[in-house]
Amino acid sequence: MKLSRIALAVGLLPGVACAAGNDVLDLAPLVVTSGRYAEPLPKATAATTVFTRQDIDRLQVRSVGELLERVPGVTVSRTGGAGSLTSVLMRGTSSAQTLVLVDGQRIASASSGTTSLEFLDPQQIERIEVVRGARSALYGSDAIGGVIQIFTRKGEGDGLKPYVRLGAGSDSTFERNVGLSGGDQQTRFNLGAALNETDGFDVTRDSFGANGDDDAYRNRSLSMNLSHRFNDSLEAGFSALDQRGQIEFDDPFFGSLPTVDFQLSSFSGYLDGKLNDSWSSRLDIGHAEDKRDTTDDLGLTDPTQFNTYRDSASWVNTLSLNDSHKLLVGADWYEDRVHGTTDFVEDSRWNQAAFIQHRYSGDAFSTELGLRHDKNEQFGSENTWNAALTLPLNAANDLVFSYSEGFRAPTFNDLYFPDFCFGGACFASANPNLQPEKSKSYEVQWRSRYAEKGSLEMSLYRTDLDDAIVLDQNFIPQNIQTARVNGFEAAVRQELFGWQGSLALGITDPRDRDSGHTLPRRAKRTLSLDLDRAFGDFSVGAGWRAVSSRYDDANNTVEMGGYGLFGLRGEWRATRELALQLKLDNLFDKDYEEATYSTPNGRFGYNTAGRTAMFAVTWTPEL
């Protein structure tokens, strides 16, 4: 993928039929992730991308990664097919440097620091908000690259609304989803269940050991969302998301046949009250679990178990001092625990924090200034700041200048993993003296409503990363890497002649400042284009993803080629209650790589899905 092709696409943006998935662009959706309170999307100071339930249905996505690769500046890397490890690299940062929330709860593993996005079923999701850029001043650890918040499916309208979705596709893939939603003016609920399974394909390219088999995946998911409004001033709610199943994968080094039984769960409850005309207060409590049991069908490796648990609470107060000044004051607390076959030196730690943010909104300019103080049981205290200045050039154009800081706390693996002992000698595997990774980001955004049904957003940013944790020559984690990321992003939305679609462009230059090498698996250029149109009861759509070449190692010796993927989708609404969908991915059967691995026989790229088809029937009977 050459830069000239991307430049040509950007030049054509104003004339391309594009949209963001909202039927009417004038109706800006409310977002809560950027500022930790509800505000119209154009007012959010952080660059934010929103995917609604309508987007998920229209795009017919089968994984969260399929949505996130449509975000400017995001590279998605997978180690195989469905259920394989999925890494989201936002604005040149690592996967562990992006905070992921489900209904406000952290779901990343405390041992590895990564989030199992590959196990989340899009059919259980109502919307996703993706905030690009550091937000540690509001959220604390991990929010260096940005924040991804996933909201579970909610009830809508009055009465009962059941839904059933059945799908079948390539590689013996079957999807079964059922749900019931509804309510009235005071109470709303949604219950959903799903069973998805596939025989998969062989994800490794070599034939070492027993790795020639297909790698199957099975996922059972349950979700529940309930809210009740007692009166105009008080609301309470509860949500739960539970994903369980099994995935087979290849062990290219030992040649074994491992399987992982997994569980990824999140439970949360809230109480939201309007105490008076100027003071709103919300209390959230939550619990999250990430469990993995790994066994080997051939018995060549010992079984392992890694389970992490997190309890959390937050209290957020919004004070409207007057029409122009708003103050956000809050406190967070969470405790992480680990349990399994590995005896960590420490198996629990807590973190408590307080934050404050002031927002001024005026006709000539608007400002945002925030500060957060975190106190962690292991590494002590950390302060982070953020500031933003919004200048309206006219009614259709805004400039946003911002500065933000981020940090990421070392994981249990980094700090407490036990020593490795062999032949009577022991070697260190962790470093209890590690300090948090830290970042500083500078950004300028231009937001334009250049047409009645079109908008353009562009961002220039720079991120400086210090004390990044990498393994030294003895494979011990150390705070030794410094990096800088320069980037440009553009997103266009438009409706033209009945066509809707979206285009997202990201250009990044993520470099290790000591060696000058490009950080591994980060694509310097990404492009995503979607076009959709409805013809009465029929609708059609097409999508194109383009990713430039990347390196898969820190020394930049292993290069993965760039690629472009094209797909088609269509839907026929046969009746008011029945819809039929067909999706074709990787239409031209492109062979490409997103990650590589080492074996005794050499280094290879993980296999990726070729041309695939998925047919689904959705039934929404009216009661």
Please, are residues 75 and 550 in contact by the beta-carbon 8 Å criterion? yes
Averaged pLDDT score across all residues of the chain: 91
Tokens of 516: 């000058």
Tokens of 74: 């995001």
Residue 27 has pLDDT above 70, yes or no: no
Mean pLDDT of 556-579: 96
State how far the alpha carbon of 33 is from the alpha carbons of 99, 326, 385, in Å.
11, 16, 17
pLDDT at 301: 76
Range with lowest mean pLDDT among 124-133, 146-155, 201-210, 304-313 = 201-210
Tokens of 41: 């999307």
Mean pLDDT of 357-373: 97
- Cα separation, 612 vs 588, in Å, equals 10
- With CA atoms as reference, report the closest residue to 465 among 478, 479, 484: 484
- Cα separation, 271 vs 233, in Å, equals 11
pLDDT at 207: 60
The b/e string for 396-429 (b: 16+ C-beta within 10 A; e otherwise) is: eebebebbbbbbbbbbbbbbbbeeeeeeeeeeeb
**Centroid of chain to Cα 272:** 26
Residue 7 has pLDDT above 90, yes or no: no
More confident residue, 1 or 332: 332
pLDDT at 206: 67
Instruction: Please give the backbone phi and psi of residue 300, each rounded to the nearest 5 degrees, phi first.
Output: -80, -25
pLDDT at 5: 42
pLDDT at 604: 85
pLDDT at 209: 55
- Cα separation, 489 vs 504, in Å, equals 8
**Would you call 473 exposed, middle or buried from its count of C-beta atoms within 10 A (0-12, 13-18, 19+)?**
exposed
pLDDT at 256: 74
Mean pLDDT of 160-178: 96
**Centroid of chain to Cα 263:** 18
Please, are residues 327 and 369 in contact by the beta-carbon 8 Å criterion? no
Residues 6+ apart with CB under 8 A from 408: 96, 97, 113, 141, 142, 144, 436, 437
Please, are residues 510 and 517 in contact by the beta-carbon 8 Å criterion? no
> How many Cα atoms are found within 13 Å in the side-chain-facing hemisphere of 236?
3
Q: How confident is the model at residue 494 (pLDDT cuts 50, 70, 90)?
A: very high
Amino acid occupying residue 475: F
- Cα separation, 589 vs 508, in Å, equals 28
Tokens of 167: 């799908």
pLDDT at 508: 97
Q: How many CB atoms lie within 10 A of CB 157?
A: 11
- Tell me the percentage of the chain whose pLDDT exceeds 70: 94
**Centroid of chain to Cα 13:** 26
Q: How confident is the model at residue 497 (pLDDT cuts 50, 70, 90)?
A: confident
Residue 29 has pLDDT above 90, yes or no: no
- Cα separation, 539 vs 533, in Å, equals 6
Q: How confident is the model at residue 257 (pLDDT cuts 50, 70, 90)?
A: confident
Please, are residues 16 and 501 in contact by the beta-carbon 8 Å criterion? yes
Q: In sequence order, what DSSP letters do the residues of 529-543 get, joined into one string?
A: EEEEEEETTEEEEEE
**CA angle at residue 269 from 99 to 120, to 5 degrees?**
45
Write the pLDDT tens digit of every residue in 600-620.
777 888 999 999 999 999 999
Helices and strands in the chain: count of H runs, count of E runs: 5, 37
- Cα separation, 404 vs 93, in Å, equals 15
Q: How many CB atoms lie within 10 A of CB 555?
A: 10
- Cα separation, 9 vs 13, in Å, equals 6
Residue 331 has pLDDT above 70, yes or no: yes
**Would you call 347 exposed, middle or buried from its count of C-beta atoms within 10 A (0-12, 13-18, 19+)?**
middle
Write the pLDDT tens digit of every residue in 415-452.
999 988 777 788 888 999 999 999 999 999 999 998 88
- With CA atoms as reference, report the closest residue to 456 among 498, 407, 505: 505
Q: How confident is the model at residue 499 (pLDDT cuts 50, 70, 90)?
A: very high
Q: How confident is the model at residue 509 (pLDDT cuts 50, 70, 90)?
A: very high
Q: How many CB atoms lie within 10 A of CB 503?
A: 26
Q: How much is the pTM?
A: 0.93
Tokens of 326: 């708003």
Q: How confident is the model at residue 76 (pLDDT cuts 50, 70, 90)?
A: very high
**Class of CATH domain 3-619:** mainly beta
- Cα separation, 269 vs 500, in Å, equals 37
Mean pLDDT of 216-245: 96
Write the pLDDT tens digit of every residue in 459-474.
999 999 999 999 888 8
Residues 6+ apart with CB under 8 A from 539: 58, 532, 533, 570, 571, 573
Among 254-268, 298-312, 577-591, the range with the most confident prediction by mean pLDDT is: 577-591
